[in-house]
């Protein structure tokens, strides 16, 4: 798998804090991403109405770190007291008592097979609708910084900045020396199937 590394210059800065982007498979210019951000922000000129949800409505804790939606339309949230599922009427909460690796959860992903992946400070937990199973990375620390599913259905995660992927039921470190000096903080799979990994400058 070919990897290309890019350093963003002043003319390529998309948002504060983005210093370097690495894309797996041949790269393209970042202009389309910049344009999509402009279109998204332009929507704020319209009037919007918001409904607030808090502990009183059923959330386990007030700090929400991640959000996703599964194939059934349910919303999932990560908090500092576990994860929560909202079906449009009520919240169902899950914690270490239910099998989560840690109550402090960071990222969340609903994959195409219906599994819910929850990144925690102690590893990556997956929920199959009945129970949780936890995977840990190659290092001593296992905080999940980023999480994504590629076009082939493979799950990728960054644990304490180290890139990992699910392979044959195991969470394995990505075997590329360049990633040892590149702490991954964000992951994204684009419409062409390319996996983008973002992090600070080396």
In a domain, 13, yes or no: no
In a domain, 96, yes or no: yes
Closest C-alpha among 80, 110, 74 to residue 96: 80
In a domain, 10, yes or no: no
User: How large is the average pLDDT for residues 28-52?
Assistant: 56
In a domain, 165, yes or no: yes
Cβ partners under 8 Å of residue 91, min gap 6? 53, 57, 58, 59, 60, 84, 85
pLDDT for 49-76, tens place per residue?
Answer: 888 999 999 999 999 999 999 999 999 9
15: left (phi over 0), alpha (psi -120 to 50) or beta: beta
Tally of domains in the chain: 1
In a domain, 194, yes or no: yes
What are the angstrom distances between the C-alpha of 104 and each of 32, 79, 110? Answer: 34, 6, 18
Strands 155-159 and 82-86: unpaired
pLDDT for 87-103, tens place per residue?
Answer: 999 999 999 999 999 99
pLDDT for 139-197, tens place per residue?
Answer: 778 999 999 999 999 999 999 999 999 998 999 999 888 887 889 999 999 999 999 99
In a domain, 40, yes or no: no
What pLDDT score does 202 carry?
Answer: 63
In a domain, 14, yes or no: no
In a domain, 43, yes or no: no
Helix (H) or strand (E) holding 183: none
Closest C-alpha among 144, 198, 162 to residue 27: 198
Indicate which CATH number applies to the domain containing 187: 2.130.10.10
Q: Quote the DSSP letter at residue 88.
A: S
Domain span at residue 65 reads 60-199
């Amino acid at each position: 798998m070919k990897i290309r590394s890019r350093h963003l210059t002043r003319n390529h800065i998309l948002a504060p804090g983005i210093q370097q982007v690495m894309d797996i498979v041949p790269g393209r210019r970042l202009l389309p991403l910049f344009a999509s951000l402009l279109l998204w922000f332009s929507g704020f000129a319209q009037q919007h109405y918001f409904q607030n949800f808090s502990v009183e409505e059923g959330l386990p804790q007030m700090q929400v770190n991640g959000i996703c939606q599964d194939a059934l339309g349910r919303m999932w949230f990560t908090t500092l007291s576990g994860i929560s599922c909202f079906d449009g009427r009520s919240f169902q909460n899950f914690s270490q008592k239910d099998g989560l690796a840690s109550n402090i959860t960071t990222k969340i992903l609903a994959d195409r097979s219906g599994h819910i992946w929850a990144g925690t400070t102690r590893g990556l937990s997956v929920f199959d609708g009945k129970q949780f199973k936890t995977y840990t990375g190659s290092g001593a620390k296992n905080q999940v910084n980023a999480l994504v599913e590629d076009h082939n259905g493979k799950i990728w995660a960054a644990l304490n900045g180290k890139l990992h992927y699910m392979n044959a039921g195991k969470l394995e470190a990505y075997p590329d020396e360049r990633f040892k000096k590149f702490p991954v903080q964000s992951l994204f799979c684009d419409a062409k199937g390319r996996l983008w990994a973002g992090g600070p400058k080396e």
